[in-house]
Amino acid sequence: MAIISTKGAYGLTAIVILAKEENNKLLQIKDIAAKGDIPQNYLEQILVLLKKSGLVESVRGANGGYKLSRDTNSITVYEVLNSLECCLAQTENKSNDNMLQPFWEDTQEKIKDVFSLSVKELEEFLEKDSKNITYHI
């Protein structure tokens, strides 16, 4: 089954933070880490993987930083998680019997479907959900 590690959760958080930047403005690692409450050293490793996957770009220098490499409508949650998690939708048939193979294949497809929403759709969901939160003292 799919289990999302902190790497996946932090990576998705970083992507959402970058997605919220107007005009795809560059953000430095320290700013992403602060906004997402992510350990900076760990975030550096995650951003390297996201860059290798073509999901983010980096610019060097004093005014450098990271930004999304594509539009938020074209990046899926599955892509982000799959680039950070080993074998996100891999399910193994641990028995010698192939009787359960159709079940494992169906499970893989369902995992992909669950995470198929775009980063834009995830942003909209989070924004809608945050409006429903009320605080009581």
Q: pLDDT (tens digit, 9 = 90+) per residue, 40-81?
A: 999 999 999 999 999 999 999 888 999 999 999 999 999 999
For the segment 12-19, the average pLDDT, to the nearest whole number, is 96
Question: What is the mean pLDDT of the segment spanning 107-122?
Answer: 88
19, 120 contact by CB (below 8 A): yes
More confident residue, 131 or 43: 43
Contacts of 81 (CB under 8 A, 6+ apart): 4, 8, 11, 12, 88, 115
For 15-30, what is the mean pLDDT?
93
What's the whole-number mean pLDDT along residues 114-136? 79
Q: Running DSSP on this structure, what letter comes out for residue 46?
A: H
